[in-house]
């Protein structure tokens, strides 16, 4: 068993912090070859990468497309909060069944992935901020290092009435 499979979420998919959000939506960390193969074999059609860096994106795009899946790059970093148009694009992508099933990931599958899944939970499933934030923590959100993400999500949820 490799280090990455020891850290996976469900014990079946060789991806760190891998979890099913909905039957059409999965989340987790950066896959390696075995992870991409598992995603393909599960029927995943779209891989949404939140990482940044031209080399990282180019390599992943080639891997994903060589396996017949669609690759979408939506880089987010730790210093800038998601812009409204980024959130709109993410929700539109997840709402479009043409892309299903979708796998969303950053490096560890906890911070950037966590905030977007929290937005999905609140805006598409009616979760409260507390429910969404508790799930972020459950899957490894770094609450002290990324306090700005928590503050922003709380403010965002209040403005939208999801407190």
pLDDT digits (tens, 9 = 90+) for 43-89: 999 999 999 999 999 999 999 999 999 999 999 987 777 888 999 99
Report yes or no on 88 lying in a domain.
yes
Whether 72 is in a domain gets the answer yes
Residue 75: CB partners within 8 Å, gap ≥ 6?
49, 50, 51, 52, 57
Q: pLDDT tens, 117-144?
A: 999 999 999 999 899 999 999 999 876 5
Task: Confirm whether 161 is domain-assigned.
Answer: no
Question: How many domains is the chain partitioned into structurally?
Answer: 1
Residue 129 belongs to a domain: yes
Segments forming the whole domain that contains residue 81: 19-156
**Closest to 113 measured CA to CA, from 42, 38, 29:** 29
CA distances from 49 to 58, 72, 108, 158 (A): 11, 6, 12, 28
Looking at the domain assignment, is residue 107 inside a domain? yes
Give the global pTM.
0.86
Q: 10 in a domain, yes or no?
A: no
**Domain assignment present for 14:** no
Answer whether residue 5 is part of any domain.
no
Residue 160: Cβ within 10 Å count: 12
CA distance 126 to 118: 10
* Sheet of strand 70-73, all strands in order from the earlier edge strand to the far edge: 19-22, 25-28, 102-105, 46-49, 70-73
Backbone angles phi, psi at 128, to 5 degrees: -80, 165
What CATH number has the domain bearing residue 98?
Answer: 3.90.190.10
pLDDT exceeds 90 at position 149: no
DSSP lists the bridge partners of residue 103 as 26, 47
Helix (H, G, I), strand (E, B) or coil at 137: helix
pLDDT number for residue 142: 78
pLDDT value at 7 more than 80: no
Q: Is the pLDDT of residue 6 over 80?
A: no
Question: Under 8 Å CB-to-CB from 161, ≥6 apart: which residues?
Answer: none
């Amino acid at each position: 068993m490799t280090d990455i499979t020891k850290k996976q979420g469900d014990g079946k998919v060789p991806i760190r912090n891998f979890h099913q959000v909905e039957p059409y939506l999965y989340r987790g960390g950066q896959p390696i070859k075995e992870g991409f193969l598992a995603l393909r074999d599960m029927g995943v059609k779209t891989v949404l990468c939140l990482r940044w860096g031209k080399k990282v994106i180019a390599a992943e795009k080639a891997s994903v497309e060589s396996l017949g899946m669609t690759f979408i790059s939506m880089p987010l970093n730790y210093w800038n909060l998601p812009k409204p148009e980024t959130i709109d694009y993410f929700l539109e992508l997840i709402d479009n069944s043409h892309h299903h099933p979708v796998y969303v990931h950053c490096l560890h599958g906890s911070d950037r992935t966590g905030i977007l899944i929290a937005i999905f939970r609140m805006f598409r499933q009616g979760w409260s901020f507390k429910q969404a934030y508790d799930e972020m923590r459950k899957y490894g959100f770094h609450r002290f290092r990324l306090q700005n993400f928590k503050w922003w999500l709380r403010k965002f949820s209040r403005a939208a009435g999801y407190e």
